[in-house]
Amino acid sequence: LAKTTQPISMDSYEGQEVNITCSHNNIATNDYITWYQQFPSQGPRFIIQGYKTKVTNEVASLFIPADRKSSTLSLPRVSLSDTAVYYCLVGPMDSSYKLIFGSGTRLLVRP
C-alpha cells in the first residue's frame, strides 16, 4: 500500500489560498488519491478524489503531476470554518483495500 506523507500542521489567514501537499512516492498504477476533511468531534468528510492531472469541485481543487508521486489539495479563499484536519489517502478501487488514514495535516485559519 502506498504510504503518504503530509505536513503535520499549517497556518493561514482568512481569504488566502491554501495548498496542502501530500507525498506518495510508491503510488501504484491503479491507485487513486482521495482527500478528507475532519472537524473536531465529527467524522471525516469526503472532499475530492482524483487519478491524474487536475480535478475541481465546488469545494477544492486537486492537482496531480504526471509522475503522480505527490498531490496538492488547493482550498481557495479559506475562512475560519476551514480550520480542520485534512487527510490524504491513496489506494486502489479494490474492494479488498482498507481505507487507511494517516496523521493528516492540521490547518489553522486565523482571522
Partner 1 sequence: KAGVTQTPRYLIKTRGQQVTLSCSPISGHRSVSWYQQTPGQGLQFLFEYFSETQRNKGNFPGRFSGRQFSNSRSEMNVSTLELGDSALYLCASSLGQGSTLHRYTFGSGTRLTVV
CA of residue 7 relative to chain centroid, distance: 11
Phi, psi of 80 (to 5 degrees): -55, -35
Sequence letter at residue 44: P
If binding is defined by CB under 8 A, does position 104 make contact with partner 1? yes
Name the minimum Å distance from CB 34 to partner 1.
Answer: 5
How big is the chain by its Cα radius of gyration, in Å? 13
* Closer Cβ to partner 1, 81 or 111, answer by number: 81
| Residues 56-85 within binding reach of partner 1 (CB under 8 A) | none
If binding is defined by CB under 8 A, does position 50 make contact with partner 1? no
If binding is defined by CB under 8 A, does position 99 make contact with partner 1? yes
What grid cell was written down for 51? Answer: 487519478
If binding is defined by CB under 8 A, does position 93 make contact with partner 1? yes
Sequence letter at residue 5: T
* Closer Cβ to partner 1, 45 or 52, answer by number: 45
Task: Report angle CA 85, 3, 65 to the nearest 5 degrees.
Answer: 85
Q: Please report, as ranges, the residues that interact with partner 1 according to CB under 8 A.
A: 32, 34, 41-46, 49, 87, 89, 91, 93-104
